[in-house]
A and B are shown apart, each in its own frame.
Chain A
Amino acid sequence: MEETNKIAALSNNIKKLSLVLFSGDFDKAIAAFTLASGAAAVGYEVNLFFTFWGLNIVKEKKGRRFLGKGILTKIFGFLMGGFKNLPLSKMNFGGFSKTAMNYLMKKENVATLPELIDAAIALKANFYACEMSMIILGLKKEDFIAPIKEVLSVASFLDYSKNGQTLFI
Chain B
Amino acid sequence: MTTTHKLDITQEHCPMTFVKTRLALEKMNKGEILEVTLTEGEALKSIPISVEELGYKILQIKHIEKNIHKIYIQK
Contacts and interface: CB of A to CB of B under 8 A. Distances in A.
Interface of A: 34-35, 37-38, 40-43, 108-111, 115-116, 119, 122-123
Contacts, number: 46
19 contacts: A34-B14, A35-B15, A37-B15, A38-B19, A41-B15, A41-B22, A41-B50, A42-B18, A42-B53, A42-B54, A43-B53, A109-B12, A109-B13, A111-B13, A111-B15, A116-B15, A119-B19, A122-B19, A123-B22
A40 B11 CA distance: 21
B14 A38 contact: yes
Main secondary structure of the interface of B (DSSP, over half): helix
B1 interface: no
Given A43-B53, A109-B11, A109-B12, A38 B23 contact: no
Please report whether the interface of chain A is mostly helix, strand, loop or mixed according to DSSP: helix
Contacts of A109: 11-13
B7 to A, nearest CB: 13
Contacts of B13: 108-111
Contacts of B22: 40-42, 123
Interface string B3-16: 00000000111111
Contacts of A115: 16
B44 to A, nearest CB: 15
Nearest to B22: A41
B54 A43 contact: yes
Interface in B57-75: none
4 closest residue pairs by CB, A with B: A38-B15, A41-B18, A42-B50, A41-B22
A122 B23 contact: yes
Contacts of A38: 14-15, 18-19
Contact of A111 (B16, B21, B23, B54): B16
